[in-house]
Amino acid sequence: MSPANILTLALSKGRIFEETLPLLEAAGVEVKDDPESSRKLILETSRPDLRIIIVRATDVPTYVQYGAADFGIAGRDVLYEHTASHPGGLYQPIDLNIARCRLCVAVREGFDYHAAVRQGSRLRVATKYIRAAREHFAEKGVHVDLIKLYGSMELAPLVGLADAIVDLVSTGNTLKANNLVAVEDVADISSRMIVNRAALKTRGLLLRPFLDAFSRASTEA
């Protein structure tokens, strides 16, 4: 558990951290370190009652669920996979509308995905997002063998590991650089605030002002 009078917020480096900074600012909080240049994993803030821990995006729900962080910010993609193995464990009060992107099916340029689907071919699909991919293809009645990867999904169709990938697409630059094209949307993604259920009960007085400020700042943005 985090110390009794200090709140712990779990964030991941990169887009989520950067897009959370303005929300923290709106709540009157300045972060004292930059996780891109510092190796510190616990960052102090201008508020003595709030610290930030830097963890992998996929670990944010785990830290919050077990109470090592009181609250955190995680993408809908990550939360969907996490709740498959931990249903009902997290309170998700606010869609912050940050780190927006799309979860897409993508293939090599020149691969006729729609023809393959029409012909009922069995497709090999590489992804980090097994649950989202399984449900997407099941709904469409497409037969797939899913291959779990942990990163660099774009490589899989290029070296014959898979016919397609399910991955996040923001600008589309990564797909383009690897001669891949998006052929189908799976879901719109943005990041949500998640809160430890026990912390909400026992430390609600500390937490509420932050939840309210984040909520106001994200709807105003």
Interacting residues toward ligand AMP by CB under 6 A: 15, 75, 99, 101, 167-174
Dist CA 204 CA 164 (whole Å): 45
**Nearest distance in Å: CB 87, ligand AMP:** 23
Nearer to ligand AMP, 85 or 152 (CB): 152
Nearer to ligand AMP, 75 or 157 (CB): 75
**Nearest distance in Å: CB 75, ligand AMP:** 5
Length of the chain: 221
Dist CA 48 CA 189 (whole Å): 33
DSSP letter, residue 121 = P
Nearer to ligand AMP, 119 or 173 (CB): 173
Dist CA 1 CA 46 (whole Å): 22
**Nearest distance in Å: CB 190, ligand AMP:** 8
Dist CA 105 CA 136 (whole Å): 10
Nearer to ligand AMP, 17 or 63 (CB): 17
Dist CA 156 CA 124 (whole Å): 10
**Nearest distance in Å: CB 55, ligand AMP:** 14
